[in-house]
């Protein structure tokens, strides 16, 4: 079978999909007569789906699927398999690394060393995490693990997620978004990107943050309105530090004033990538694709309605 990936894949992916065929990479995000399409990062919209006449199944790496037009794929009878919970732990660990780096102002401290400005080291003060409040926006698989890891550091965890009920939130207190913004010393985003969350963090909402809060986004860049609202919040002191694994524009314009601010720490939408993640995700996808091609419904099927259309 012809298997196309929209970005480079690790050796473990080629090994996992080997029984189905060899993977070729097409970085333009075009199906190129693919029968199996592995979508990594590149948007795959309705027009591309409609032109993919040979496409039988889409494999979306990771838990997010906002870069695939699910409705268009379903109409075309193209099942989508994904990996909803596989990368939750490494993503949570990566998020906590960002929280620690931003709260302890590691970029600024590193700059002091590299610029030989040793005498200024006492001017940079980090945040004490023990007893601090972390506000988790989105209490899914990743958000729950972030809250647990932060509680292990001695932090108090609160969360906002309209889809979660108090009796299913565990030891995490559910609050309104406004209450979270007012109370949290660290705000960390783990919500899905949809019509409700797109641009949710705008100037008005950030103005409600506790003064000096640390802001972390490891969800989707477009949950934040744009780079300017974060830069302004840093400039007026509403935020003291920002850590981003995802960006309003990807790749980001590094000349923007947000990225030249030493209080901003960035990673390239990859903080959760680990060897174990790669192995588990691609084996999960390969198994799901194999089941779809055999006429079965895998547990990691995103749009089961597509099977009825295809049938």
Q: In what order do the strands lie in the sheet with 213-217?
A: 173-174, 156-160, 133-137, 186-189, 213-217, 239-244, 264-266
Q: Which of 56, 107, 247, 269 is catalytic?
A: 269
Residue 28: active-site member: no
Residue found under tokens 């934040």: 224
Q: Which of 190, 220, 238, 247 is catalytic?
A: 220
Give the Cα separation of 292 and 300 in Å (integer).
10
Residue 196: active-site member: no
Token pair of 7, please? 């970005």
If one counts every other C-beta atom within 10 angstroms of the C-beta of residue 67, the result is 18
- Go through 201-226 and write b for each residue having 16 or more CB atoms within 10 A of its CB, e for each that does not: beeebbeebbeebbbbbbbbbbbbbb
C-alpha torsion sign, points 243, 248, 252, 254: negative
Q: Which residues neighbour 66 within 8 Å (Cβ) at sequence distance 6 or greater?
A: 192, 193, 194, 220
Residue 220: active-site member: yes
Give the Cα separation of 173 and 165 in Å (integer).
10
Q: Which of 8, 24, 50, 250 is catalytic?
A: 250
If one counts every other C-beta atom within 10 angstroms of the C-beta of residue 159, the result is 25
Residues facing residue 213 across a β-bridge: 239
The residues annotated as belonging to the active site are: 220, 250, 269
């Amino acid at each position: 079978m012809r298997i196309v990936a929209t970005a480079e894949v690790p050796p473990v992916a080629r090994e996992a999909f080997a029984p189905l065929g060899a993977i070729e990479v097409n970085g333009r995000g075009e199906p190129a007569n693919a029968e199996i399409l592995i979508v990594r990062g590149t948007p795959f919209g309705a027009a591309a789906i409609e032109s993919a006449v040979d496409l039988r199944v889409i494999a979306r790496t990771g838990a997010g699927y906002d870069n695939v037009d699910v409705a268009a794929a379903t109409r075309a009878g193209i099942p989508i398999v994904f990996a909803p919970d596989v990368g939750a732990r490494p993503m949570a660990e990566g998020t906590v690394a960002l929280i620690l780096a931003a709260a302890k102002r590691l970029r600024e401290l590193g700059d002091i060393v590299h610029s030989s400005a040793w005498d200024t080291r006492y001017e940079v003060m980090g945040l004490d995490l023990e007893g601090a409040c972390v506000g988790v926006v989105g209490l899914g698989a990743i958000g729950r693990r972030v809250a647990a890891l932060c509680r292990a550091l001695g932090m108090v965890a609160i969360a906002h997620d309209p889809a979660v009920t108090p009796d299913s939130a565990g030891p995490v207190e559910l609050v309104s978004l406004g209450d979270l913004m007012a109370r949290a010393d660290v705000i960390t985003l783990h919500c899905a990107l949809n019509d409700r969350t797109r641009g949710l963090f705008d100037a008005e909402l950030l103005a409600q943050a506790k003064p000096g809060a640390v802001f972390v986004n490891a969800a989707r860049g477009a949950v934040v309105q744009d780079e300017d609202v974060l830069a302004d919040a840093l400039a007026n002191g509403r935020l003291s530090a920002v850590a981003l694994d995802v960006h309003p524009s990807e790749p980001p314009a590094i000349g923007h004033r947000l990225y030249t601010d030493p209080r901003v720490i960035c990673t390239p939408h990859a903080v959760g990538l680990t060897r174990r993640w790669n192995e588990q995700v691609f084996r999960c996808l390969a198994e799901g694709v194999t089941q779809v091609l055999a006429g079965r419904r895998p547990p990691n099927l995103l749009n089961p309605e597509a099977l009825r259309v295809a049938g």
